[in-house]
Structure 1
Amino acid sequence: MLYAFLDESYTADRYYVGAIVVRTENLSDVSGALKASREYARGFGIDSPSVEFHAHEIMSGVGCWAPVRGKTRAALAIYGDALDRLAELPIKMIIRGVDVTRLNARYRYPYAPHRIALQHALEAVNEYAASVGDVVTVIADEVQGQAMHILQTAQYQVSGTGGYRSSKLVQIEMPIVFGKSSESPGVQSADLAVYLYRRLDAHVEKHERTRRAVERLWEKVQPIRHHVWRWDP
Protein backbone atom coordinates (compact mmCIF):
# COMPACT_ATOMS: atom_id res chain seq x y z
CA MET A 1 0.00 0.00 0.00
CA LEU A 2 1.11 3.53 -0.83
CA TYR A 3 0.14 6.78 0.83
CA ALA A 4 0.22 10.13 -0.98
CA PHE A 5 0.25 13.23 1.21
CA LEU A 6 -0.84 16.43 -0.54
CA ASP A 7 -0.55 20.14 0.15
CA GLU A 8 -0.88 23.29 -1.94
CA SER A 9 0.99 26.56 -2.42
CA TYR A 10 0.04 29.45 -4.66
CA THR A 11 0.32 33.05 -5.74
CA ALA A 12 -2.19 35.17 -7.63
CA ASP A 13 -0.61 33.94 -10.89
CA ARG A 14 0.26 30.30 -10.23
CA TYR A 15 -1.19 27.41 -8.25
CA TYR A 16 0.58 24.21 -7.21
CA VAL A 17 -0.31 20.94 -5.51
CA GLY A 18 2.52 18.77 -4.26
CA ALA A 19 2.55 15.17 -3.10
CA ILE A 20 4.91 13.02 -1.08
CA VAL A 21 4.34 9.33 -1.86
CA VAL A 22 5.34 6.82 0.82
CA ARG A 23 5.02 3.08 1.26
CA THR A 24 3.25 1.91 4.41
CA GLU A 25 6.43 0.48 5.89
CA ASN A 26 8.20 3.84 5.52
CA LEU A 27 5.60 6.05 7.21
CA SER A 28 7.51 5.96 10.49
CA ASP A 29 10.66 7.06 8.64
CA VAL A 30 8.98 10.28 7.54
CA SER A 31 7.79 10.94 11.07
CA GLY A 32 11.27 10.19 12.38
CA ALA A 33 12.92 12.55 9.92
CA LEU A 34 10.81 15.50 11.04
CA LYS A 35 11.25 14.54 14.69
CA ALA A 36 15.01 14.66 14.21
CA SER A 37 14.71 18.04 12.47
CA ARG A 38 12.70 19.39 15.41
CA GLU A 39 15.57 18.36 17.64
CA TYR A 40 17.96 20.18 15.30
CA ALA A 41 15.74 23.28 15.42
CA ARG A 42 16.03 23.38 19.22
CA GLY A 43 19.54 24.69 18.70
CA PHE A 44 17.97 27.81 17.20
CA GLY A 45 15.53 28.36 20.06
CA ILE A 46 12.61 26.36 18.63
CA ASP A 47 11.76 24.33 21.72
CA SER A 48 8.21 23.14 21.03
CA PRO A 49 8.21 19.33 20.63
CA SER A 50 5.09 19.53 18.46
CA VAL A 51 6.08 22.46 16.21
CA GLU A 52 4.77 22.01 12.67
CA PHE A 53 6.97 22.22 9.60
CA HIS A 54 5.21 24.90 7.58
CA ALA A 55 7.67 26.38 5.13
CA HIS A 56 6.09 29.84 5.04
CA GLU A 57 6.11 30.06 8.83
CA ILE A 58 9.73 28.92 9.01
CA MET A 59 10.89 31.47 6.46
CA SER A 60 8.72 34.25 7.93
CA GLY A 61 9.48 33.47 11.55
CA VAL A 62 5.87 33.43 12.71
CA GLY A 63 4.08 31.38 15.33
CA CYS A 64 6.31 28.82 17.00
CA TRP A 65 9.06 29.81 14.57
CA ALA A 66 9.32 33.35 15.98
CA PRO A 67 12.86 32.74 17.37
CA VAL A 68 14.20 32.74 13.78
CA ARG A 69 12.29 35.84 12.64
CA GLY A 70 14.70 38.03 10.71
CA LYS A 71 17.38 35.32 10.90
CA THR A 72 17.36 34.07 7.33
CA ARG A 73 20.44 31.89 7.67
CA ALA A 74 18.96 30.10 10.68
CA ALA A 75 15.64 29.54 8.90
CA LEU A 76 17.43 28.21 5.83
CA ALA A 77 19.54 25.89 7.98
CA ILE A 78 16.44 24.38 9.61
CA TYR A 79 14.62 24.08 6.27
CA GLY A 80 17.68 22.50 4.68
CA ASP A 81 18.10 20.02 7.52
CA ALA A 82 14.53 18.78 7.08
CA LEU A 83 14.97 18.46 3.31
CA ASP A 84 18.27 16.59 3.73
CA ARG A 85 16.60 14.04 5.97
CA LEU A 86 13.61 13.58 3.66
CA ALA A 87 15.88 13.22 0.62
CA GLU A 88 17.52 10.19 2.22
CA LEU A 89 14.22 8.32 2.46
CA PRO A 90 12.64 5.91 -0.08
CA ILE A 91 9.86 8.38 -0.94
CA LYS A 92 8.80 10.19 -4.12
CA MET A 93 7.87 13.81 -4.70
CA ILE A 94 5.28 14.87 -7.27
CA ILE A 95 4.33 18.50 -7.99
CA ARG A 96 1.85 19.81 -10.51
CA GLY A 97 1.09 23.46 -11.15
CA VAL A 98 -0.99 25.68 -13.40
CA ASP A 99 -0.40 29.19 -14.71
CA VAL A 100 -3.54 31.00 -13.53
CA THR A 101 -3.08 34.06 -15.74
CA ARG A 102 -2.83 31.97 -18.89
CA LEU A 103 -5.72 29.77 -17.72
CA ASN A 104 -8.03 32.76 -17.37
CA ALA A 105 -6.88 34.20 -20.69
CA ARG A 106 -7.52 30.97 -22.60
CA TYR A 107 -10.87 29.89 -21.15
CA ARG A 108 -13.98 31.97 -20.69
CA TYR A 109 -15.20 29.87 -17.76
CA PRO A 110 -12.16 28.00 -16.44
CA TYR A 111 -12.20 25.53 -13.59
CA ALA A 112 -10.74 26.79 -10.32
CA PRO A 113 -6.93 26.55 -10.25
CA HIS A 114 -7.01 24.33 -7.15
CA ARG A 115 -9.28 21.85 -8.88
CA ILE A 116 -7.01 21.70 -11.91
CA ALA A 117 -3.76 21.37 -9.96
CA LEU A 118 -5.32 18.73 -7.69
CA GLN A 119 -6.62 16.77 -10.67
CA HIS A 120 -3.24 16.81 -12.38
CA ALA A 121 -1.46 15.81 -9.16
CA LEU A 122 -3.85 12.90 -8.67
CA GLU A 123 -3.26 11.77 -12.26
CA ALA A 124 0.50 11.77 -11.64
CA VAL A 125 0.11 9.93 -8.33
CA ASN A 126 -2.13 7.36 -10.03
CA GLU A 127 0.44 6.85 -12.81
CA TYR A 128 3.20 6.30 -10.27
CA ALA A 129 1.13 3.80 -8.31
CA ALA A 130 0.35 1.92 -11.51
CA SER A 131 4.04 1.85 -12.44
CA VAL A 132 4.90 0.06 -9.19
CA GLY A 133 1.78 -2.12 -9.21
CA ASP A 134 0.19 -0.80 -6.05
CA VAL A 135 -2.82 1.17 -4.81
CA VAL A 136 -2.60 4.48 -3.00
CA THR A 137 -4.52 6.25 -0.26
CA VAL A 138 -4.53 10.04 -0.63
CA ILE A 139 -4.43 12.32 2.41
CA ALA A 140 -4.58 16.07 1.78
CA ASP A 141 -4.32 19.13 3.97
CA GLU A 142 -7.64 20.66 4.99
CA VAL A 143 -8.95 23.30 2.57
CA GLN A 144 -12.14 25.23 1.97
CA GLY A 145 -14.60 23.33 -0.19
CA GLN A 146 -13.04 19.96 0.57
CA ALA A 147 -16.42 18.21 0.49
CA MET A 148 -16.76 19.29 -3.14
CA HIS A 149 -13.27 17.98 -3.89
CA ILE A 150 -14.16 14.61 -2.36
CA LEU A 151 -17.24 14.32 -4.57
CA GLN A 152 -15.38 15.50 -7.67
CA THR A 153 -12.46 13.12 -7.29
CA ALA A 154 -14.82 10.19 -6.65
CA GLN A 155 -16.64 11.10 -9.87
CA TYR A 156 -13.36 10.80 -11.78
CA GLN A 157 -13.51 7.03 -11.21
CA VAL A 158 -16.86 6.99 -12.99
CA SER A 159 -16.35 9.36 -15.90
CA GLY A 160 -12.62 10.05 -15.98
CA THR A 161 -10.66 13.22 -15.33
CA GLY A 162 -11.19 14.59 -18.83
CA GLY A 163 -8.66 16.23 -21.09
CA TYR A 164 -6.31 14.58 -23.53
CA ARG A 165 -4.94 12.23 -20.84
CA SER A 166 -8.19 11.34 -19.13
CA SER A 167 -7.84 8.85 -16.30
CA LYS A 168 -10.25 7.04 -14.00
CA LEU A 169 -7.63 6.99 -11.24
CA VAL A 170 -8.14 3.28 -10.69
CA GLN A 171 -5.06 2.97 -8.42
CA ILE A 172 -6.42 5.53 -5.94
CA GLU A 173 -8.53 4.38 -3.01
CA MET A 174 -11.60 6.62 -2.78
CA PRO A 175 -12.61 8.81 -1.12
CA ILE A 176 -9.55 10.96 -0.68
CA VAL A 177 -9.11 12.12 2.91
CA PHE A 178 -8.61 15.67 4.20
CA GLY A 179 -6.97 16.07 7.59
CA LYS A 180 -5.10 18.44 9.86
CA SER A 181 -1.47 18.96 8.94
CA SER A 182 -0.61 19.00 12.64
CA GLU A 183 -1.46 15.29 12.74
CA SER A 184 0.41 14.35 9.56
CA PRO A 185 4.19 14.43 9.08
CA GLY A 186 3.49 13.43 5.48
CA VAL A 187 1.40 16.54 4.78
CA GLN A 188 4.04 18.70 6.48
CA SER A 189 6.66 17.13 4.21
CA ALA A 190 4.52 17.91 1.17
CA ASP A 191 4.25 21.50 2.42
CA LEU A 192 8.04 21.83 2.56
CA ALA A 193 8.32 20.52 -1.00
CA VAL A 194 5.53 22.43 -2.72
CA TYR A 195 6.32 25.77 -1.03
CA LEU A 196 9.92 25.47 -2.15
CA TYR A 197 8.97 24.82 -5.78
CA ARG A 198 6.47 27.69 -5.72
CA ARG A 199 9.20 29.95 -4.35
CA LEU A 200 11.55 28.79 -7.11
CA ASP A 201 9.07 28.88 -9.98
CA ALA A 202 6.72 31.77 -9.21
CA HIS A 203 8.59 34.21 -6.97
CA VAL A 204 11.05 36.86 -8.13
CA GLU A 205 13.65 37.14 -5.40
CA LYS A 206 14.80 40.64 -4.55
CA HIS A 207 18.28 39.53 -3.59
CA GLU A 208 20.68 37.30 -5.55
CA ARG A 209 21.86 35.62 -2.36
CA THR A 210 18.33 34.54 -1.51
CA ARG A 211 17.76 33.21 -5.03
CA ARG A 212 20.89 31.08 -4.79
CA ALA A 213 19.83 29.80 -1.38
CA VAL A 214 16.45 28.71 -2.74
CA GLU A 215 18.16 26.94 -5.63
CA ARG A 216 20.46 25.11 -3.21
CA LEU A 217 17.46 23.95 -1.20
CA TRP A 218 15.82 22.67 -4.37
CA GLU A 219 18.91 20.66 -5.25
CA LYS A 220 18.67 18.88 -1.91
CA VAL A 221 15.45 17.13 -2.95
CA GLN A 222 16.79 15.97 -6.33
CA PRO A 223 17.00 12.32 -5.12
CA ILE A 224 13.25 12.12 -4.45
CA ARG A 225 11.91 14.12 -7.39
CA HIS A 226 9.67 11.93 -9.53
CA HIS A 227 7.46 14.32 -11.49
CA VAL A 228 7.47 18.13 -11.44
CA TRP A 229 5.59 20.10 -14.09
CA ARG A 230 3.57 23.29 -14.54
CA TRP A 231 0.76 23.49 -17.10
CA ASP A 232 0.76 26.68 -19.14
CA PRO A 233 -2.60 26.65 -20.98
Structure 2
Amino acid sequence: MVLLTYVDESYDRDHYWMVALVVAEKHLRPLHRALDAVVAKAADHYPVDRRAELHGHALVQARDDWTRMGNKGHNMVRARIGVYADAMKAIGAHDVRVIVRGLDLRASGVRRTDGALPPHEVVLRQLLEQICEHVQVRDELALVIADEIDGADDHRRHFRDYQLAGTGGSVSNTLPWLVDTIHFAPSKASRLLQAADLIAYLHRRLVSGQDGDPRARRANEKLWSYVAPRVAHQHCWLPGQSTGPLVEPAPTNPA
Protein backbone atom coordinates (compact mmCIF):
# COMPACT_ATOMS: atom_id res chain seq x y z
CA MET A 1 0.00 0.00 0.00
CA VAL A 2 1.15 3.54 -0.75
CA LEU A 3 0.48 6.13 1.93
CA LEU A 4 -0.19 9.65 0.70
CA THR A 5 1.75 12.16 2.80
CA TYR A 6 0.78 15.83 2.76
CA VAL A 7 3.35 18.39 3.91
CA ASP A 8 3.04 22.03 4.94
CA GLU A 9 5.04 24.44 7.08
CA SER A 10 4.52 27.21 9.63
CA TYR A 11 7.22 29.40 11.16
CA ASP A 12 8.05 32.50 13.16
CA ARG A 13 11.31 34.26 14.01
CA ASP A 14 12.31 31.56 16.54
CA HIS A 15 11.21 28.24 15.06
CA TYR A 16 10.57 26.64 11.69
CA TRP A 17 8.04 23.79 11.72
CA MET A 18 6.87 21.30 9.11
CA VAL A 19 4.00 18.85 9.41
CA ALA A 20 3.36 15.66 7.47
CA LEU A 21 -0.15 14.24 7.41
CA VAL A 22 0.06 10.55 6.49
CA VAL A 23 -3.14 9.14 5.01
CA ALA A 24 -3.89 5.65 3.74
CA GLU A 25 -5.52 5.52 0.31
CA LYS A 26 -8.85 4.24 1.62
CA HIS A 27 -9.19 7.26 3.91
CA LEU A 28 -8.42 9.92 1.28
CA ARG A 29 -11.90 10.32 -0.13
CA PRO A 30 -13.74 10.09 3.22
CA LEU A 31 -11.48 12.75 4.76
CA HIS A 32 -11.80 14.95 1.69
CA ARG A 33 -15.59 14.69 1.88
CA ALA A 34 -15.56 15.39 5.62
CA LEU A 35 -13.55 18.60 5.11
CA ASP A 36 -15.82 19.64 2.23
CA ALA A 37 -18.73 19.17 4.63
CA VAL A 38 -17.07 21.45 7.18
CA VAL A 39 -16.93 24.29 4.65
CA ALA A 40 -20.44 23.54 3.36
CA LYS A 41 -21.78 23.76 6.92
CA ALA A 42 -20.06 27.12 7.38
CA ALA A 43 -21.46 28.35 4.06
CA ASP A 44 -24.98 27.42 5.17
CA HIS A 45 -24.73 29.74 8.17
CA TYR A 46 -22.17 32.42 7.36
CA PRO A 47 -21.01 34.57 4.40
CA VAL A 48 -18.52 31.98 3.10
CA ASP A 49 -18.17 30.32 -0.29
CA ARG A 50 -18.45 26.53 -0.37
CA ARG A 51 -15.10 26.44 -2.18
CA ALA A 52 -13.34 28.40 0.59
CA GLU A 53 -9.88 27.19 1.54
CA LEU A 54 -9.39 25.85 5.06
CA HIS A 55 -6.32 27.88 5.96
CA GLY A 56 -5.20 28.32 9.56
CA HIS A 57 -4.04 31.94 9.43
CA ALA A 58 -6.98 33.03 7.29
CA LEU A 59 -9.50 31.40 9.62
CA VAL A 60 -8.04 32.88 12.79
CA GLN A 61 -7.45 36.35 11.35
CA ALA A 62 -10.54 36.50 9.06
CA ARG A 63 -8.48 36.88 5.89
CA ASP A 64 -8.83 35.73 2.27
CA ASP A 65 -11.85 33.41 1.85
CA TRP A 66 -12.92 34.14 5.45
CA THR A 67 -12.73 37.95 5.31
CA ARG A 68 -16.49 38.48 5.43
CA MET A 69 -16.60 36.70 8.78
CA GLY A 70 -14.40 39.45 10.20
CA ASN A 71 -15.94 42.57 8.69
CA LYS A 72 -17.67 45.10 10.89
CA GLY A 73 -21.02 43.61 11.78
CA HIS A 74 -19.72 40.10 11.12
CA ASN A 75 -17.07 39.78 13.82
CA MET A 76 -17.53 36.08 14.33
CA VAL A 77 -14.47 34.94 16.23
CA ARG A 78 -16.30 32.08 17.93
CA ALA A 79 -17.84 31.03 14.64
CA ARG A 80 -14.46 30.90 12.91
CA ILE A 81 -12.96 28.91 15.77
CA GLY A 82 -15.99 26.63 15.48
CA VAL A 83 -15.13 26.00 11.83
CA TYR A 84 -11.51 25.30 12.84
CA ALA A 85 -12.78 22.88 15.49
CA ASP A 86 -15.02 21.08 13.00
CA ALA A 87 -12.06 20.63 10.66
CA MET A 88 -9.76 19.33 13.40
CA LYS A 89 -12.45 16.92 14.57
CA ALA A 90 -12.83 15.66 11.00
CA ILE A 91 -9.09 15.07 10.70
CA GLY A 92 -8.86 13.35 14.08
CA ALA A 93 -11.84 11.11 13.30
CA HIS A 94 -9.96 9.43 10.46
CA ASP A 95 -7.10 6.94 10.63
CA VAL A 96 -4.27 9.36 9.87
CA ARG A 97 -0.87 9.98 11.43
CA VAL A 98 0.79 13.34 12.09
CA ILE A 99 4.56 13.87 12.03
CA VAL A 100 6.00 17.18 13.25
CA ARG A 101 9.59 18.34 12.79
CA GLY A 102 11.05 21.69 13.74
CA LEU A 103 14.26 23.71 13.83
CA ASP A 104 15.28 26.11 16.58
CA LEU A 105 16.29 29.15 14.55
CA ARG A 106 17.78 30.89 17.58
CA ALA A 107 20.39 28.17 17.98
CA SER A 108 20.90 27.24 14.35
CA GLY A 109 22.46 30.39 12.93
CA VAL A 110 20.32 30.01 9.79
CA ARG A 111 19.54 33.73 9.86
CA ARG A 112 23.13 34.48 8.94
CA THR A 113 24.19 34.79 5.32
CA ASP A 114 27.29 32.67 5.80
CA GLY A 115 26.29 29.70 3.70
CA ALA A 116 24.08 27.99 6.26
CA LEU A 117 21.33 25.89 4.67
CA PRO A 118 17.87 27.45 4.44
CA PRO A 119 15.60 26.28 7.28
CA HIS A 120 13.07 24.81 4.85
CA GLU A 121 15.73 22.53 3.38
CA VAL A 122 17.01 21.46 6.81
CA VAL A 123 13.59 20.65 8.24
CA LEU A 124 12.28 19.02 5.06
CA ARG A 125 15.26 16.66 4.94
CA GLN A 126 14.67 15.58 8.55
CA LEU A 127 10.93 15.28 7.94
CA LEU A 128 11.54 13.02 4.94
CA GLU A 129 13.78 10.82 7.07
CA GLN A 130 11.07 10.55 9.70
CA ILE A 131 8.34 9.80 7.16
CA CYS A 132 10.55 7.07 5.73
CA GLU A 133 11.09 5.55 9.17
CA HIS A 134 7.37 5.71 9.92
CA VAL A 135 6.28 3.90 6.75
CA GLN A 136 9.12 1.37 6.98
CA VAL A 137 7.82 0.22 10.36
CA ARG A 138 4.42 -0.28 8.72
CA ASP A 139 6.05 -2.10 5.77
CA GLU A 140 4.46 0.35 3.35
CA LEU A 141 5.54 3.06 0.93
CA ALA A 142 4.82 6.79 0.88
CA LEU A 143 4.32 9.43 -1.81
CA VAL A 144 5.04 12.97 -0.61
CA ILE A 145 2.86 15.90 -1.70
CA ALA A 146 3.81 19.37 -0.48
CA ASP A 147 2.28 22.81 -0.67
CA GLU A 148 3.76 24.56 -3.68
CA ILE A 149 6.58 26.98 -2.90
CA ASP A 150 9.33 28.87 -4.67
CA GLY A 151 12.29 26.63 -5.38
CA ALA A 152 10.27 23.46 -5.92
CA ASP A 153 12.73 22.28 -8.59
CA ASP A 154 15.59 22.60 -6.10
CA HIS A 155 13.73 20.46 -3.57
CA ARG A 156 13.01 17.80 -6.19
CA ARG A 157 16.70 17.79 -7.08
CA HIS A 158 17.69 17.47 -3.41
CA PHE A 159 15.24 14.60 -3.02
CA ARG A 160 16.85 12.79 -5.94
CA ASP A 161 20.31 13.43 -4.45
CA TYR A 162 19.15 11.90 -1.16
CA GLN A 163 17.88 8.82 -3.00
CA LEU A 164 21.20 8.39 -4.77
CA ALA A 165 23.75 9.41 -2.13
CA GLY A 166 21.87 9.59 1.16
CA THR A 167 20.74 12.44 3.36
CA GLY A 168 24.09 12.80 5.12
CA GLY A 169 24.60 13.17 8.85
CA SER A 170 25.62 10.47 11.29
CA VAL A 171 23.03 8.05 9.87
CA SER A 172 22.64 8.66 6.14
CA ASN A 173 19.34 7.64 4.60
CA THR A 174 18.52 7.04 0.92
CA LEU A 175 14.79 7.21 1.68
CA PRO A 176 14.05 3.76 0.21
CA TRP A 177 10.44 3.75 1.39
CA LEU A 178 9.55 7.01 -0.35
CA VAL A 179 8.52 6.62 -3.98
CA ASP A 180 8.85 8.80 -7.07
CA THR A 181 9.67 12.44 -6.22
CA ILE A 182 8.21 15.24 -4.12
CA HIS A 183 5.05 16.52 -5.76
CA PHE A 184 4.06 20.14 -5.23
CA ALA A 185 0.45 21.30 -5.47
CA PRO A 186 -1.53 24.44 -4.61
CA SER A 187 -3.21 24.09 -1.23
CA LYS A 188 -6.26 25.86 -2.66
CA ALA A 189 -6.92 22.74 -4.73
CA SER A 190 -6.27 20.13 -2.02
CA ARG A 191 -8.32 19.62 1.13
CA LEU A 192 -5.59 17.27 2.41
CA LEU A 193 -2.90 19.94 2.11
CA GLN A 194 -5.30 22.28 3.86
CA ALA A 195 -5.56 19.77 6.69
CA ALA A 196 -1.76 19.75 7.04
CA ASP A 197 -1.79 23.55 7.10
CA LEU A 198 -4.39 23.66 9.89
CA ILE A 199 -2.30 21.32 12.01
CA ALA A 200 0.98 23.13 11.32
CA TYR A 201 -0.43 26.59 12.07
CA LEU A 202 -2.10 25.49 15.31
CA HIS A 203 1.00 23.62 16.49
CA ARG A 204 3.19 26.67 15.95
CA ARG A 205 0.81 28.95 17.84
CA LEU A 206 0.72 26.58 20.80
CA VAL A 207 4.45 25.96 21.01
CA SER A 208 5.34 29.64 20.51
CA GLY A 209 3.15 30.75 23.39
CA GLN A 210 2.07 33.76 21.34
CA ASP A 211 -1.46 33.64 22.71
CA GLY A 212 -1.12 35.43 26.03
CA ASP A 213 -4.86 35.40 26.69
CA PRO A 214 -5.61 32.25 28.76
CA ARG A 215 -8.95 31.87 26.98
CA ALA A 216 -7.24 31.78 23.58
CA ARG A 217 -4.69 29.32 24.92
CA ARG A 218 -7.40 27.01 26.24
CA ALA A 219 -9.28 27.23 22.95
CA ASN A 220 -6.17 26.26 20.99
CA GLU A 221 -5.40 23.39 23.36
CA LYS A 222 -8.94 22.14 22.84
CA LEU A 223 -8.48 22.28 19.07
CA TRP A 224 -5.21 20.37 19.38
CA SER A 225 -6.83 17.67 21.50
CA TYR A 226 -8.85 16.52 18.48
CA VAL A 227 -5.71 15.44 16.59
CA ALA A 228 -3.34 14.73 19.50
CA PRO A 229 -4.06 10.95 19.48
CA ARG A 230 -2.97 10.89 15.82
CA VAL A 231 0.47 12.41 16.46
CA ALA A 232 3.16 9.79 15.80
CA HIS A 233 6.23 12.03 16.20
CA GLN A 234 7.11 15.55 17.40
CA HIS A 235 10.63 16.88 17.51
CA CYS A 236 12.40 20.24 17.45
CA TRP A 237 16.07 20.01 16.53
CA LEU A 238 18.75 22.11 18.15
CA PRO A 239 21.91 22.04 16.00
CA GLY A 240 24.72 20.33 17.86
CA GLN A 241 22.40 17.69 19.26
CA SER A 242 21.42 14.42 17.64
CA THR A 243 18.41 14.47 15.36
CA GLY A 244 16.73 11.93 17.61
CA PRO A 245 13.50 12.44 19.50
CA LEU A 246 14.13 15.43 21.73
CA VAL A 247 10.44 16.16 21.89
CA GLU A 248 8.93 19.60 22.40
CA PRO A 249 5.29 18.72 21.83
CA ALA A 250 2.24 20.89 21.94
CA PRO A 251 0.06 19.80 24.86
CA THR A 252 -1.80 16.57 24.26
CA ASN A 253 -3.97 16.99 27.34
CA PRO A 254 -5.59 20.43 27.45
CA ALA A 255 -5.64 22.22 30.79
Q: TM-score range by the shorter chain?
A: over 0.9
Cα shift at 1:46: 4.1
* Equivalence for 2:137: 131
* Structure 1 ranges of 4+ moved more than 3 A: 105-109
* Structure ranking higher on relative contact order (CA contacts 8 Å, 6+ apart): 1
Identity %: 32
* Equivalence for 1:195: 201
Cα shift at 1:152: 0.4
* Equivalence for 1:60: 61
Which deviates more, 194-203 or 43-52? 43-52
Q: Say whether the 8 Å CA contact 2:110–2:119 is kept in structure 1.
A: no
* Equivalence for 2:37: 36
Could you state the TM-score of these two structures normalised by the residue count of structure 1?
0.94
Cα shift at 1:105: 7.7
Q: Distance in 2 between matches of 1:20 and 1:105?
A: 26
Cα shift at 1:75: 1.5
Distance 1:79 1:105, change over 3 A: closer
More helix per residue: 1 or 2?
A: 1
Cα shift at 1:52: 0.7
Q: Say whether the 8 Å CA contact 1:14–1:100 is kept in structure 2.
A: yes
Aligned partner of 1:15: which letter? Answer: Y
Cα deviation, 1:177-203, whole Å, max 9, x if unaligned, reads: 011112211111100111111111124
Could you list the runs of 5+ residues in structure 1 that have no partner in the other structure?
Answer: none
* Equivalence for 2:185: 179
Cα shift at 1:113: 0.6
Cα deviation, 1:49-102, whole Å, max 9, x if unaligned, reads: 211111100001012202332432112111011100110101111111101111
* Equivalence for 1:96: 101
Could you list the runs of 5+ residues in structure 2 that have no partner in the other structure?
Answer: 240-255
Cα shift at 1:106: 11
Whether 1:75 and 2:80 are equivalent positions in the alignment is yes
* Equivalence for 2:234: 228
